[in-house]
Structure 1
Amino acid sequence: MRVQMLGLCRFSYLGLRGYQRDHQTVAERRAFLYDPDRLARRWRWFTTLALPGWLAQTDPDFTLVIMTGPDLPQPYRSRLHDLAAATPQMRLEIVPPMDRHLDACRAAVAPHVDAGADVVGHFRHDDDDAVALDYITRARRDFLRVRGLWRAHGRLSLDHSRGLMLRAGAGGAQFVPRIAHNMGVALTVFLPPEEPKTALHFNHTRLPLWMPGVAVTQPLMFIRGIHPDSDSGDIGPGIGYEIAADDLDRQLASRFGLGQAELDDLARGEALGGSC
Protein backbone atom coordinates (compact mmCIF):
# COMPACT_ATOMS: atom_id res chain seq x y z
CA MET A 1 0.00 0.00 0.00
CA ARG A 2 1.57 3.25 -1.14
CA VAL A 3 1.22 5.94 1.55
CA GLN A 4 2.39 9.40 0.54
CA MET A 5 3.33 11.70 3.41
CA LEU A 6 2.69 15.31 2.37
CA GLY A 7 2.92 18.34 4.64
CA LEU A 8 2.45 22.10 4.52
CA CYS A 9 4.45 24.70 6.43
CA ARG A 10 3.36 28.32 6.06
CA PHE A 11 6.21 30.78 6.47
CA SER A 12 4.74 34.26 6.97
CA TYR A 13 2.28 33.70 4.14
CA LEU A 14 0.44 36.90 3.27
CA GLY A 15 -3.28 36.11 3.30
CA LEU A 16 -6.27 37.53 5.13
CA ARG A 17 -7.60 34.38 6.72
CA GLY A 18 -6.31 31.21 8.35
CA TYR A 19 -4.77 32.76 11.47
CA GLN A 20 -6.11 33.69 14.88
CA ARG A 21 -4.84 37.27 14.66
CA ASP A 22 -7.18 39.34 12.49
CA HIS A 23 -6.25 42.19 10.16
CA GLN A 24 -8.70 44.18 8.08
CA THR A 25 -6.55 44.71 4.99
CA VAL A 26 -3.67 43.08 3.16
CA ALA A 27 -1.57 46.15 3.95
CA GLU A 28 -2.12 45.66 7.69
CA ARG A 29 -1.30 41.98 7.42
CA ARG A 30 1.83 42.72 5.37
CA ALA A 31 3.08 45.27 7.91
CA PHE A 32 2.60 42.74 10.70
CA LEU A 33 4.09 39.70 8.96
CA TYR A 34 7.02 41.48 7.35
CA ASP A 35 8.17 43.51 10.33
CA PRO A 36 11.96 42.97 10.21
CA ASP A 37 12.30 42.05 13.87
CA ARG A 38 9.43 39.59 13.68
CA LEU A 39 10.84 37.92 10.55
CA ALA A 40 14.23 37.55 12.21
CA ARG A 41 12.61 35.86 15.19
CA ARG A 42 10.50 33.55 13.02
CA TRP A 43 13.61 32.51 11.09
CA ARG A 44 15.43 31.69 14.34
CA TRP A 45 12.57 29.47 15.49
CA PHE A 46 12.30 27.82 12.08
CA THR A 47 16.00 27.03 11.74
CA THR A 48 16.67 26.18 15.40
CA LEU A 49 13.54 24.24 16.38
CA ALA A 50 11.55 23.18 13.32
CA LEU A 51 14.10 22.46 10.61
CA PRO A 52 16.54 20.01 12.28
CA GLY A 53 13.91 17.30 12.66
CA TRP A 54 12.85 17.51 9.02
CA LEU A 55 16.42 17.31 7.79
CA ALA A 56 17.09 14.15 9.81
CA GLN A 57 13.90 12.07 9.47
CA THR A 58 14.56 8.35 9.71
CA ASP A 59 12.21 7.86 6.75
CA PRO A 60 13.17 10.39 4.05
CA ASP A 61 10.17 9.50 1.86
CA PHE A 62 8.03 12.59 2.44
CA THR A 63 7.35 16.01 0.96
CA LEU A 64 7.14 19.21 2.97
CA VAL A 65 5.76 22.18 1.05
CA ILE A 66 6.90 25.55 2.36
CA MET A 67 4.35 28.18 1.42
CA THR A 68 5.03 31.91 1.33
CA GLY A 69 4.11 35.00 -0.66
CA PRO A 70 5.79 36.59 -3.70
CA ASP A 71 6.91 39.67 -1.78
CA LEU A 72 8.45 37.95 1.24
CA PRO A 73 11.39 40.26 2.01
CA GLN A 74 14.97 39.28 1.40
CA PRO A 75 17.02 37.53 2.55
CA TYR A 76 14.27 35.15 3.65
CA ARG A 77 12.84 34.36 0.23
CA SER A 78 16.31 33.49 -1.09
CA ARG A 79 17.04 31.43 1.99
CA LEU A 80 13.85 29.41 1.50
CA HIS A 81 14.66 28.95 -2.18
CA ASP A 82 18.15 27.70 -1.36
CA LEU A 83 16.81 25.37 1.35
CA ALA A 84 14.29 23.80 -1.03
CA ALA A 85 16.92 23.48 -3.77
CA ALA A 86 19.29 21.67 -1.41
CA THR A 87 16.71 19.39 0.26
CA PRO A 88 14.97 16.72 -1.85
CA GLN A 89 11.99 16.50 0.50
CA MET A 90 11.21 20.23 0.45
CA ARG A 91 9.29 22.26 -2.09
CA LEU A 92 8.87 26.03 -2.09
CA GLU A 93 5.51 27.32 -3.30
CA ILE A 94 5.05 31.05 -3.89
CA VAL A 95 1.33 31.78 -3.58
CA PRO A 96 -0.09 35.27 -4.22
CA PRO A 97 -2.29 36.77 -1.49
CA MET A 98 -5.70 35.12 -1.54
CA ASP A 99 -8.78 36.07 0.42
CA ARG A 100 -9.72 32.44 1.02
CA HIS A 101 -6.86 30.91 2.95
CA LEU A 102 -7.89 27.30 2.36
CA ASP A 103 -7.85 27.89 -1.40
CA ALA A 104 -4.30 29.17 -1.02
CA CYS A 105 -3.28 26.10 0.96
CA ARG A 106 -4.78 23.82 -1.66
CA ALA A 107 -2.98 25.73 -4.42
CA ALA A 108 0.31 25.11 -2.60
CA VAL A 109 -0.25 21.42 -1.91
CA ALA A 110 -2.14 20.21 -4.99
CA PRO A 111 0.86 20.11 -7.40
CA HIS A 112 2.63 17.70 -5.06
CA VAL A 113 -0.10 15.09 -4.53
CA ASP A 114 0.98 11.71 -5.88
CA ALA A 115 -2.02 10.53 -7.90
CA GLY A 116 -0.55 7.04 -7.88
CA ALA A 117 -0.61 6.76 -4.09
CA ASP A 118 -3.27 4.67 -2.38
CA VAL A 119 -3.61 7.20 0.42
CA VAL A 120 -2.10 10.59 1.25
CA GLY A 121 -1.10 11.41 4.81
CA HIS A 122 -1.56 15.17 5.00
CA PHE A 123 0.01 17.08 7.86
CA ARG A 124 0.47 20.70 8.82
CA HIS A 125 3.54 22.09 10.52
CA ASP A 126 4.07 25.50 12.07
CA ASP A 127 7.49 27.08 11.66
CA ASP A 128 8.00 27.27 15.44
CA ASP A 129 7.23 23.62 16.30
CA ALA A 130 9.24 20.41 16.07
CA VAL A 131 8.45 16.78 15.32
CA ALA A 132 10.50 13.80 16.42
CA LEU A 133 13.09 12.33 14.08
CA ASP A 134 10.90 9.27 13.45
CA TYR A 135 7.57 11.05 12.92
CA ILE A 136 7.29 9.99 9.26
CA THR A 137 8.38 6.42 10.06
CA ARG A 138 5.85 6.03 12.85
CA ALA A 139 2.99 7.81 11.09
CA ARG A 140 3.32 5.52 8.08
CA ARG A 141 3.75 2.38 10.22
CA ASP A 142 0.91 3.20 12.63
CA PHE A 143 -1.45 3.97 9.77
CA LEU A 144 -0.88 0.51 8.29
CA ARG A 145 -1.90 -0.98 11.64
CA VAL A 146 -5.33 0.71 11.49
CA ARG A 147 -5.87 1.01 7.74
CA GLY A 148 -9.07 -1.03 7.96
CA LEU A 149 -10.65 1.92 9.75
CA TRP A 150 -9.55 4.24 6.94
CA ARG A 151 -10.91 1.88 4.31
CA ALA A 152 -14.30 1.86 6.05
CA HIS A 153 -14.59 5.65 6.17
CA GLY A 154 -12.26 7.07 3.50
CA ARG A 155 -10.83 9.48 6.08
CA LEU A 156 -8.80 8.96 9.24
CA SER A 157 -6.76 11.08 11.64
CA LEU A 158 -3.72 9.71 13.44
CA ASP A 159 -2.74 11.77 16.45
CA HIS A 160 0.72 11.34 17.99
CA SER A 161 -0.24 13.26 21.07
CA ARG A 162 2.64 13.10 23.58
CA GLY A 163 4.67 16.29 23.47
CA LEU A 164 6.43 19.13 25.20
CA MET A 165 5.19 22.70 25.39
CA LEU A 166 8.20 25.01 25.16
CA ARG A 167 7.57 28.34 26.86
CA ALA A 168 10.06 31.05 26.00
CA GLY A 169 11.23 33.38 28.74
CA ALA A 170 14.16 35.37 30.05
CA GLY A 171 15.23 32.33 32.07
CA GLY A 172 15.43 30.15 28.98
CA ALA A 173 13.21 27.35 27.72
CA GLN A 174 10.63 26.01 30.14
CA PHE A 175 9.18 22.64 29.16
CA VAL A 176 5.69 21.54 30.13
CA PRO A 177 5.13 17.82 29.37
CA ARG A 178 1.67 17.34 27.92
CA ILE A 179 -0.48 14.74 26.23
CA ALA A 180 -2.57 17.02 24.03
CA HIS A 181 -5.01 15.47 21.61
CA ASN A 182 -5.33 16.89 18.10
CA MET A 183 -2.91 19.70 18.86
CA GLY A 184 -2.10 20.13 15.17
CA VAL A 185 1.58 19.17 15.28
CA ALA A 186 2.44 15.47 14.67
CA LEU A 187 -1.19 15.04 13.57
CA THR A 188 -1.78 13.26 10.25
CA VAL A 189 -5.00 13.32 8.23
CA PHE A 190 -5.21 10.42 5.78
CA LEU A 191 -7.27 11.10 2.65
CA PRO A 192 -7.61 9.57 -0.81
CA PRO A 193 -5.33 11.21 -3.40
CA GLU A 194 -8.35 12.53 -5.32
CA GLU A 195 -9.71 14.35 -2.25
CA PRO A 196 -9.52 18.13 -2.95
CA LYS A 197 -8.69 18.98 0.67
CA THR A 198 -5.62 19.17 2.87
CA ALA A 199 -5.00 18.89 6.60
CA LEU A 200 -5.68 22.63 6.88
CA HIS A 201 -9.25 22.15 5.63
CA PHE A 202 -10.17 20.36 8.85
CA ASN A 203 -10.14 22.32 12.11
CA HIS A 204 -7.83 20.13 14.17
CA THR A 205 -9.80 20.85 17.37
CA ARG A 206 -12.98 19.45 15.77
CA LEU A 207 -11.68 16.53 13.74
CA PRO A 208 -14.19 13.99 15.14
CA LEU A 209 -16.92 15.87 13.28
CA TRP A 210 -15.49 14.66 9.97
CA MET A 211 -13.61 11.42 10.57
CA PRO A 212 -12.65 8.72 13.05
CA GLY A 213 -9.39 9.23 14.86
CA VAL A 214 -6.72 7.16 16.54
CA ALA A 215 -4.54 8.59 19.33
CA VAL A 216 -1.02 7.19 19.81
CA THR A 217 0.27 8.42 23.16
CA GLN A 218 3.80 6.99 23.09
CA PRO A 219 6.54 7.96 22.45
CA LEU A 220 7.32 11.67 22.75
CA MET A 221 6.59 13.08 19.31
CA PHE A 222 6.45 16.87 19.25
CA ILE A 223 7.59 20.17 20.73
CA ARG A 224 5.25 23.14 20.48
CA GLY A 225 6.77 26.61 20.74
CA ILE A 226 4.90 29.15 22.86
CA HIS A 227 6.19 32.71 22.73
CA PRO A 228 4.93 36.27 22.11
CA ASP A 229 4.85 35.81 18.32
CA SER A 230 2.85 32.58 18.48
CA ASP A 231 -0.44 32.66 16.62
CA SER A 232 -1.93 30.84 19.59
CA GLY A 233 -0.02 31.44 22.79
CA ASP A 234 -1.68 29.15 25.33
CA ILE A 235 -0.94 25.55 26.25
CA GLY A 236 -4.49 24.39 25.67
CA PRO A 237 -6.26 21.37 27.12
CA GLY A 238 -4.40 18.17 27.83
CA ILE A 239 -3.01 15.79 30.41
CA GLY A 240 0.22 16.60 32.21
CA TYR A 241 2.87 14.00 32.89
CA GLU A 242 6.21 14.00 34.69
CA ILE A 243 9.65 13.86 33.13
CA ALA A 244 12.91 14.10 35.08
CA ALA A 245 15.46 16.74 34.10
CA ASP A 246 18.12 14.23 33.03
CA ASP A 247 15.53 12.28 31.04
CA LEU A 248 14.39 15.51 29.40
CA ASP A 249 17.92 16.22 28.18
CA ARG A 250 18.23 12.67 26.89
CA GLN A 251 14.92 12.79 25.04
CA LEU A 252 15.59 16.20 23.51
CA ALA A 253 18.73 14.69 22.00
CA SER A 254 17.46 11.25 21.05
CA ARG A 255 13.95 12.15 19.90
CA PHE A 256 14.61 15.56 18.27
CA GLY A 257 18.36 15.94 17.80
CA LEU A 258 18.23 19.10 19.92
CA GLY A 259 20.05 20.35 23.00
CA GLN A 260 18.83 22.21 26.05
CA ALA A 261 21.47 24.93 25.70
CA GLU A 262 20.50 25.91 22.14
CA LEU A 263 16.82 25.98 23.06
CA ASP A 264 17.58 28.11 26.12
CA ASP A 265 19.42 30.57 23.87
CA LEU A 266 16.49 30.63 21.46
CA ALA A 267 13.99 31.23 24.25
CA ARG A 268 16.04 33.99 25.85
CA GLY A 269 16.44 35.75 22.52
CA GLU A 270 12.69 35.67 22.02
CA ALA A 271 12.10 37.10 25.48
CA LEU A 272 14.56 39.93 24.84
CA GLY A 273 13.12 40.61 21.40
CA GLY A 274 9.59 41.07 22.65
CA SER A 275 6.44 40.88 20.59
CA CYS A 276 5.43 42.76 17.45
Structure 2
Amino acid sequence: MRVQMLGLCRFSYLGMRGYQVDHDRIEDRRAYLYDPDRLARRWSWFETVALPGWLAQTDPDYTLVLMTGPDLPDPFLARLRDLCDRVPQLRLSLVPPMEYHLQACRAAIAPHRDPDATVIGHFRHDDDDAVAVDYIARARADFAAVADLWAREGRLSLDHARGLMIEARDGRLRITPRICHNMGVALTIFLRPDAPETALDFNHTRLAQWMPGVQVPEPVMFVRSIHGDSDSGDMGPGLPWQPEEGAINRILRERFDLRRGALAALARRLSLG
Protein backbone atom coordinates (compact mmCIF):
# COMPACT_ATOMS: atom_id res chain seq x y z
CA MET A 1 0.00 0.00 0.00
CA ARG A 2 1.45 3.30 -1.10
CA VAL A 3 0.70 6.07 1.44
CA GLN A 4 1.50 9.60 0.31
CA MET A 5 1.97 12.12 3.12
CA LEU A 6 0.88 15.50 1.75
CA GLY A 7 0.61 18.67 3.82
CA LEU A 8 -0.33 22.31 3.40
CA CYS A 9 1.26 25.24 5.22
CA ARG A 10 -0.20 28.68 4.54
CA PHE A 11 2.28 31.54 4.87
CA SER A 12 0.30 34.79 4.96
CA TYR A 13 -1.84 33.69 2.03
CA LEU A 14 -3.85 36.62 0.71
CA GLY A 15 -7.39 35.34 0.36
CA MET A 16 -10.74 35.94 1.93
CA ARG A 17 -12.22 33.78 4.68
CA GLY A 18 -10.57 30.74 6.20
CA TYR A 19 -9.13 32.51 9.24
CA GLN A 20 -10.48 33.71 12.55
CA VAL A 21 -9.13 37.22 11.91
CA ASP A 22 -11.47 38.39 9.15
CA HIS A 23 -11.71 41.42 6.84
CA ASP A 24 -14.46 42.77 4.58
CA ARG A 25 -12.23 44.02 1.76
CA ILE A 26 -9.22 42.49 0.04
CA GLU A 27 -7.36 45.80 0.46
CA ASP A 28 -7.75 45.60 4.23
CA ARG A 29 -6.67 41.97 4.19
CA ARG A 30 -3.56 42.81 2.16
CA ALA A 31 -2.59 45.65 4.47
CA TYR A 32 -2.93 43.38 7.50
CA LEU A 33 -1.15 40.31 6.11
CA TYR A 34 1.64 42.15 4.30
CA ASP A 35 2.52 44.59 7.04
CA PRO A 36 6.36 44.41 7.05
CA ASP A 37 6.69 44.07 10.82
CA ARG A 38 4.07 41.33 10.95
CA LEU A 39 5.75 39.40 8.11
CA ALA A 40 9.10 39.64 9.87
CA ARG A 41 7.56 38.21 13.04
CA ARG A 42 5.84 35.40 11.14
CA TRP A 43 9.10 34.49 9.43
CA SER A 44 10.89 34.38 12.78
CA TRP A 45 8.33 31.89 14.11
CA PHE A 46 8.45 29.86 10.90
CA GLU A 47 12.24 29.71 10.81
CA THR A 48 12.75 29.10 14.53
CA VAL A 49 9.85 26.79 15.38
CA ALA A 50 8.29 25.20 12.31
CA LEU A 51 11.23 24.41 10.04
CA PRO A 52 13.61 22.39 12.26
CA GLY A 53 11.25 19.45 12.69
CA TRP A 54 10.45 19.26 8.99
CA LEU A 55 14.11 19.38 7.99
CA ALA A 56 14.93 16.60 10.46
CA GLN A 57 12.16 14.11 9.61
CA THR A 58 13.35 10.52 10.02
CA ASP A 59 11.13 9.55 7.06
CA PRO A 60 11.87 12.02 4.26
CA ASP A 61 9.10 10.70 2.00
CA TYR A 62 6.61 13.55 2.36
CA THR A 63 5.52 16.72 0.58
CA LEU A 64 4.74 19.96 2.37
CA VAL A 65 3.20 22.63 0.14
CA LEU A 66 3.98 26.20 1.20
CA MET A 67 1.04 28.29 0.03
CA THR A 68 1.19 32.04 -0.37
CA GLY A 69 0.21 34.75 -2.81
CA PRO A 70 2.21 35.67 -5.93
CA ASP A 71 2.54 39.24 -4.63
CA LEU A 72 3.98 38.33 -1.23
CA PRO A 73 6.58 41.05 -0.65
CA ASP A 74 10.28 40.32 -0.75
CA PRO A 75 12.44 39.32 0.97
CA PHE A 76 9.88 36.76 2.17
CA LEU A 77 8.84 35.42 -1.22
CA ALA A 78 12.50 35.14 -2.21
CA ARG A 79 13.23 33.27 1.02
CA LEU A 80 10.42 30.81 0.35
CA ARG A 81 11.66 30.24 -3.19
CA ASP A 82 15.19 29.61 -1.95
CA LEU A 83 13.98 27.26 0.76
CA CYS A 84 11.93 25.18 -1.68
CA ASP A 85 14.86 25.07 -4.11
CA ARG A 86 17.06 23.64 -1.36
CA VAL A 87 14.63 21.19 0.28
CA PRO A 88 13.00 18.70 -2.12
CA GLN A 89 10.11 17.92 0.23
CA LEU A 90 8.97 21.56 0.24
CA ARG A 91 6.95 22.89 -2.71
CA LEU A 92 5.97 26.50 -3.27
CA SER A 93 2.43 27.19 -4.46
CA LEU A 94 1.55 30.75 -5.47
CA VAL A 95 -2.23 31.09 -5.44
CA PRO A 96 -3.90 34.37 -6.48
CA PRO A 97 -6.45 35.82 -4.06
CA MET A 98 -9.65 33.78 -4.06
CA GLU A 99 -12.97 34.47 -2.37
CA TYR A 100 -13.41 30.91 -1.12
CA HIS A 101 -10.53 29.65 0.98
CA LEU A 102 -11.15 25.92 0.57
CA GLN A 103 -11.10 26.34 -3.20
CA ALA A 104 -7.72 28.06 -2.90
CA CYS A 105 -6.34 25.27 -0.71
CA ARG A 106 -7.50 22.64 -3.18
CA ALA A 107 -5.80 24.56 -5.99
CA ALA A 108 -2.55 24.59 -4.02
CA ILE A 109 -2.61 20.86 -3.23
CA ALA A 110 -3.98 19.37 -6.47
CA PRO A 111 -0.74 19.44 -8.55
CA HIS A 112 1.13 17.55 -5.83
CA ARG A 113 -1.12 14.51 -5.43
CA ASP A 114 0.53 11.19 -6.27
CA PRO A 115 -1.72 9.37 -8.77
CA ASP A 116 -0.08 6.08 -7.84
CA ALA A 117 -0.87 6.40 -4.14
CA THR A 118 -3.34 4.01 -2.52
CA VAL A 119 -4.17 6.54 0.16
CA ILE A 120 -3.13 10.14 0.86
CA GLY A 121 -2.45 11.30 4.40
CA HIS A 122 -3.39 14.98 4.33
CA PHE A 123 -2.23 17.31 7.08
CA ARG A 124 -2.34 21.02 7.77
CA HIS A 125 0.51 22.85 9.41
CA ASP A 126 0.55 26.39 10.74
CA ASP A 127 3.74 28.34 10.13
CA ASP A 128 4.40 28.83 13.85
CA ASP A 129 3.83 25.25 15.06
CA ALA A 130 6.12 22.21 15.11
CA VAL A 131 5.81 18.47 14.63
CA ALA A 132 8.17 15.87 16.06
CA VAL A 133 11.01 14.64 13.88
CA ASP A 134 9.30 11.24 13.48
CA TYR A 135 5.80 12.54 12.74
CA ILE A 136 5.79 11.23 9.16
CA ALA A 137 7.18 7.83 10.19
CA ARG A 138 4.77 7.44 13.10
CA ALA A 139 1.74 8.55 11.07
CA ARG A 140 2.51 5.90 8.48
CA ALA A 141 3.12 3.18 11.08
CA ASP A 142 0.02 4.01 13.12
CA PHE A 143 -2.15 4.19 10.00
CA ALA A 144 -0.99 0.71 8.98
CA ALA A 145 -2.39 -0.62 12.26
CA VAL A 146 -5.87 0.79 11.53
CA ALA A 147 -5.95 0.68 7.72
CA ASP A 148 -8.95 -1.68 7.74
CA LEU A 149 -10.97 1.01 9.51
CA TRP A 150 -10.02 3.49 6.79
CA ALA A 151 -10.96 1.01 4.06
CA ARG A 152 -14.61 0.93 5.18
CA GLU A 153 -15.29 4.55 4.21
CA GLY A 154 -12.13 5.87 2.59
CA ARG A 155 -11.82 8.47 5.35
CA LEU A 156 -10.02 8.33 8.67
CA SER A 157 -8.50 10.85 11.07
CA LEU A 158 -5.38 9.97 13.07
CA ASP A 159 -4.73 12.34 15.95
CA HIS A 160 -1.35 12.43 17.70
CA ALA A 161 -2.60 14.20 20.77
CA ARG A 162 0.31 14.76 23.17
CA GLY A 163 2.26 17.97 22.85
CA LEU A 164 3.55 21.21 24.29
CA MET A 165 1.87 24.60 24.28
CA ILE A 166 4.34 27.45 23.95
CA GLU A 167 3.08 30.88 24.98
CA ALA A 168 5.10 34.01 24.27
CA ARG A 169 3.65 36.96 26.16
CA ASP A 170 5.28 40.15 27.39
CA GLY A 171 8.70 38.85 26.41
CA ARG A 172 8.39 35.69 28.49
CA LEU A 173 8.17 32.06 27.40
CA ARG A 174 5.79 29.66 29.09
CA ILE A 175 5.60 25.95 28.18
CA THR A 176 2.56 23.89 29.15
CA PRO A 177 2.40 20.11 28.51
CA ARG A 178 -1.03 19.29 27.07
CA ILE A 179 -3.04 16.41 25.63
CA CYS A 180 -5.54 17.77 23.13
CA HIS A 181 -8.27 16.21 21.01
CA ASN A 182 -7.91 17.02 17.30
CA MET A 183 -5.88 20.16 17.90
CA GLY A 184 -5.03 20.40 14.21
CA VAL A 185 -1.24 20.04 14.34
CA ALA A 186 0.05 16.44 14.02
CA LEU A 187 -3.44 15.49 12.88
CA THR A 188 -3.61 13.42 9.68
CA ILE A 189 -6.68 12.98 7.48
CA PHE A 190 -6.40 9.87 5.32
CA LEU A 191 -8.43 10.05 2.09
CA ARG A 192 -8.61 8.20 -1.20
CA PRO A 193 -6.28 9.68 -3.84
CA ASP A 194 -9.18 10.76 -6.06
CA ALA A 195 -10.92 12.66 -3.25
CA PRO A 196 -10.90 16.42 -4.00
CA GLU A 197 -10.69 17.46 -0.34
CA THR A 198 -7.64 18.50 1.65
CA ALA A 199 -7.19 18.55 5.42
CA LEU A 200 -8.56 22.11 5.40
CA ASP A 201 -11.94 20.93 4.10
CA PHE A 202 -12.74 19.40 7.48
CA ASN A 203 -13.16 21.48 10.63
CA HIS A 204 -10.74 19.69 12.93
CA THR A 205 -13.02 20.25 15.94
CA ARG A 206 -15.92 18.40 14.25
CA LEU A 207 -14.25 15.50 12.49
CA ALA A 208 -16.65 12.93 13.92
CA GLN A 209 -19.31 14.40 11.62
CA TRP A 210 -17.46 13.07 8.59
CA MET A 211 -15.24 10.13 9.50
CA PRO A 212 -14.06 7.67 12.13
CA GLY A 213 -11.10 8.77 14.16
CA VAL A 214 -8.23 7.25 16.12
CA GLN A 215 -6.35 9.10 18.85
CA VAL A 216 -2.77 8.15 19.74
CA PRO A 217 -1.67 9.67 23.08
CA GLU A 218 2.04 8.78 22.84
CA PRO A 219 4.69 9.99 22.15
CA VAL A 220 5.03 13.79 22.33
CA MET A 221 4.24 14.86 18.78
CA PHE A 222 3.47 18.57 18.50
CA VAL A 223 4.33 22.09 19.63
CA ARG A 224 1.66 24.73 19.31
CA SER A 225 2.62 28.39 19.56
CA ILE A 226 0.42 31.07 21.10
CA HIS A 227 1.47 34.72 20.73
CA GLY A 228 0.30 38.14 19.68
CA ASP A 229 0.07 37.27 15.98
CA SER A 230 -1.71 33.94 16.46
CA ASP A 231 -4.91 33.51 14.47
CA SER A 232 -6.33 32.03 17.65
CA GLY A 233 -4.75 32.95 20.95
CA ASP A 234 -6.66 30.40 23.01
CA MET A 235 -5.03 27.22 24.33
CA GLY A 236 -8.35 25.42 23.98
CA PRO A 237 -9.61 22.37 25.85
CA GLY A 238 -7.26 19.60 26.85
CA LEU A 239 -5.73 17.56 29.63
CA PRO A 240 -2.51 18.25 31.52
CA TRP A 241 0.38 15.81 31.56
CA GLN A 242 3.52 16.00 33.63
CA PRO A 243 6.92 15.20 32.12
CA GLU A 244 9.75 14.02 34.31
CA GLU A 245 11.60 16.68 36.27
CA GLY A 246 13.81 18.69 33.92
CA ALA A 247 12.68 16.76 30.83
CA ILE A 248 11.18 19.57 28.77
CA ASN A 249 14.51 20.82 27.43
CA ARG A 250 15.39 17.27 26.37
CA ILE A 251 11.97 16.77 24.78
CA LEU A 252 12.34 19.97 22.78
CA ARG A 253 15.80 18.96 21.62
CA GLU A 254 15.23 15.25 20.88
CA ARG A 255 11.64 15.31 19.63
CA PHE A 256 11.58 18.64 17.74
CA ASP A 257 15.20 19.71 17.18
CA LEU A 258 14.37 22.88 19.12
CA ARG A 259 16.30 24.69 21.84
CA ARG A 260 14.54 26.31 24.77
CA GLY A 261 17.07 29.15 24.82
CA ALA A 262 16.30 30.00 21.19
CA LEU A 263 12.56 30.00 21.90
CA ALA A 264 13.00 32.24 24.92
CA ALA A 265 15.19 34.60 22.91
CA LEU A 266 12.53 34.75 20.19
CA ALA A 267 9.87 35.64 22.76
CA ARG A 268 12.06 38.42 24.15
CA ARG A 269 13.03 39.77 20.75
CA LEU A 270 9.50 39.93 19.40
CA SER A 271 8.21 41.68 22.51
CA LEU A 272 10.67 44.50 21.82
CA GLY A 273 9.48 44.92 18.23
Band the TM-score falls in, shorter-chain normalisation: over 0.9
Instruction: Say whether the 8 Å CA contact 1:6–1:123 is kept in structure 2.
Output: yes
C-alpha distance in 2 between matches for 1:203 and 1:124: 11
Counterparts of residues 56-71 of structure 1 (less than 5 Å): 56-71=56-71
Question: Structure 1 counterpart of 2:33, which letter?
Answer: L
Question: Structure 2 counterpart of 1:94, which letter?
Answer: L
Per-residue CA shift, 1:56-105, capped at 9, x if unaligned?
10000000000000110000001000100110101000000000000000
Instruction: Say whether the 8 Å CA contact 2:169–2:271 is kept in structure 1.
Output: yes
C-alpha distance in 2 between matches for 1:219 and 1:272: 35
C-alpha distance in 1 between matches for 2:93 and 2:250: 36
Per-residue CA shift, 1:128-148, capped at 9, x if unaligned?
000000000000010000000
Q: What TM-score results when the alignment is normalised by the length of structure 1?
A: 0.97
Aligned to 1:248: 248
Instruction: Say whether the 8 Å CA contact 1:6–1:120 is kept in structure 2.
Output: yes
SS at match of 2:28: helix
Q: Give the deviation of 1:244 after TM superposition.
A: 4.1
C-alpha distance in 2 between matches for 1:36 and 1:191: 38
Instruction: Say whether the 8 Å CA contact 1:227–1:270 is kept in structure 2.
Output: no
RMSD: 0.8
Worse-matched range after superposition: 236-245 or 41-50: 236-245
SS at match of 1:173: strand
C-alpha distance in 1 between matches for 2:91 and 2:236: 31
SS at match of 1:120: strand
Question: Structure 2 counterpart of 1:33, which letter?
Answer: L
Instruction: Say whether the 8 Å CA contact 2:171–2:270 is kept in structure 1.
Output: no
Aligned to 2:119: 119
Identical residues among aligned pairs (%): 65
Q: What TM-score results when the alignment is normalised by the length of structure 2?
A: 0.99
Instruction: Say whether the 8 Å CA contact 2:169–2:228 is kept in structure 1.
Output: no
Question: Structure 2 counterpart of 1:156, which letter?
Answer: L
Tell whether 2:260 aligns with 1:270. Answer: no
C-alpha distance in 1 between matches for 2:26 and 2:187: 30
Tell whether 2:102 aligns with 1:105. Answer: no
Counterparts of residues 196-235 of structure 1 (less than 5 Å): 196-235=196-235
Per-residue CA shift, 1:29-74, capped at 9, x if unaligned?
0000001110000000000000010011000000000000011000
- 1:197–1:262 Cα change, 3 Å: same
Tell whether 2:155 aligns with 1:152. Answer: no
SS at match of 1:204: coil
Moved over 3 A (4+): none
SS at match of 1:126: coil
Q: Give the deviation of 1:225 after TM superposition.
A: 0.4
Aligned to 1:35: 35
Aligned to 1:44: 44
Counterparts of residues 75-114 of structure 1 (less than 5 Å): 75-114=75-114
C-alpha distance in 1 between matches for 2:187 and 2:5: 12
C-alpha distance in 1 between matches for 2:121 and 2:104: 19
Instruction: Say whether the 8 Å CA contact 1:162–1:217 is kept in structure 2.
Output: yes
SS at match of 2:37: helix
C-alpha distance in 2 between matches for 1:257 and 1:61: 19
Instruction: Say whether the 8 Å CA contact 1:169–1:270 is kept in structure 2.
Output: no
SS at match of 1:246: coil
Question: Structure 1 counterpart of 2:14, which letter?
Answer: L
Question: Structure 1 counterpart of 2:50, which letter?
Answer: A
C-alpha distance in 2 between matches for 1:60 and 1:196: 25
Instruction: Say whether the 8 Å CA contact 1:64–1:91 is kept in structure 2.
Output: yes
Instruction: Say whether the 8 Å CA contact 2:171–2:269 is kept in structure 1.
Output: no
Tell whether 2:184 aligns with 1:184. Answer: yes
